[in-house]
């Protein structure tokens, strides 16, 4: 709740992420030409890479401002379990950076001549995948808190962990674009990632925050 109020006060931060995604996605048709077949082929990959980078961009700020003004310390000292607080913060972060990407996905579909059902698949895949990005990213953000050059280190730490999500996320969109109707397996794996991240990430993040605050 608190983070949402804060974000409303600083609307530009949210829009930056969204516009970053749109611009990265739009650059490819400009650079690679507007040939329909090529664009259709690269669309899933481009959309996911852009989503990764966009969520990466906002991650640094997840805990940094709380750390700087001492509110993070206060949070660690509340009688609330840190697990819940972290989950709340990550959820707020996802609402502001992940969810907008899901809604902007049809625009990507339009630019890349994706068939309608593939656009639907992409939205669903992003809906399941982006929370995983936020959750996994939170661990990295907590670990690199207060370090010099933390942003670059964060990318090095987190991007490799994003790879599995990207492979399956992009895979399901490609499969759907080629007309495959049985996508159950892809979604099962993506949901599996989500459940795993949902359970383990807040614990790891809370532990990392305690270390960083020392």
Partner 1 sequence: MLEITNLACSRGDRQLFTGLNFSLEPGSLLYVEGRNGTGKSTLLRTICGLFLADSGEILWNGESTQSLAEDYTKEVVYLGHHNGIKDDLTGLENLRISTVLDGDDVTEDQIWNALKKMGLKGFEDLPTKVLSQGQKRRVALARLLLNSSKLWILDEPFTALDVAAVDLLQSVIAEHINDGGIVILTTHQEVALTSGQIQRLELGKKKNKNV
Chain residues that interact with partner 1, rule: CB under 8 A: 1-2, 5-6, 9-10, 68-71, 73-81, 85, 213-214
CB of 87 to partner 1, least distance (A): 14
Q: Residues 44, 177: contact at Cβ < 8 Å? A: yes
Q: Which is nearer to partner 1, 36 or 210 (CB)?
A: 210
**Phi, psi dihedrals of residue 113, rounded to the nearest 5°:** 50, 40
Burial of 5 (0-12, 13-18, 19+ CB in 10 A): exposed
Q: Which is nearer to partner 1, 133 or 206 (CB)?
A: 206
Distances (CA, A) of 70 to 65, 179, 212, 214: 9, 53, 12, 12
CB of 2 to partner 1, least distance (A): 5
CB of 108 to partner 1, least distance (A): 32
* Overall residue count recorded for the chain in this entry: 214
Q: Which is nearer to partner 1, 75 or 204 (CB)?
A: 75
CB of 92 to partner 1, least distance (A): 13
Q: Which is nearer to partner 1, 47 or 72 (CB)?
A: 72
Q: Give the separation between CA 91 and CA 197, rounded to whole angstroms.
A: 12
């Amino acid at each position: 709740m608190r983070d949402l109020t804060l974000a409303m006060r600083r609307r530009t931060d949210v829009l930056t992420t969204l516009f970053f995604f749109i611009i990265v996605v739009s650059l490819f048709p400009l650079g690679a030409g507007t040939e329909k077949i090529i664009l259709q082929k690269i669309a899933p990959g481009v959309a996911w890479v852009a989503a990764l980078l966009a969520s990466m961009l906002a991650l640094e700020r997840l805990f940094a401002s709380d750390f700087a003004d001492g509110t993070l310390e206060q949070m660690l000292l509340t009688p609330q379990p840190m697990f819940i607080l972290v989950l709340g913060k990550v959820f707020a972060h996802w609402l502001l950076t992940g969810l907008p990407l899901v809604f902007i996905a049809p625009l990507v579909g339009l630019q890349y001549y994706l068939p309608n059902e593939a656009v639907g698949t992409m939205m669903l895949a992003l809906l399941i995948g982006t929370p995983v990005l936020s959750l996994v990213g939170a661990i990295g953000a907590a670990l690199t808190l207060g370090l010099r050059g933390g942003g670059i280190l964060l990318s090095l730490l987190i991007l490799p962990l994003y790879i599995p999500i990207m492979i399956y996320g992009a895979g399901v969109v490609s499969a759907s674009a080629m007309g495959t109707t049985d996508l159950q397996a892809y979604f099962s794996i993506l949901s599996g990632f989500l459940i795993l991240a949902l359970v383990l990430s807040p614990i790891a993040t809370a532990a990392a925050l305690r270390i960083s605050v020392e």
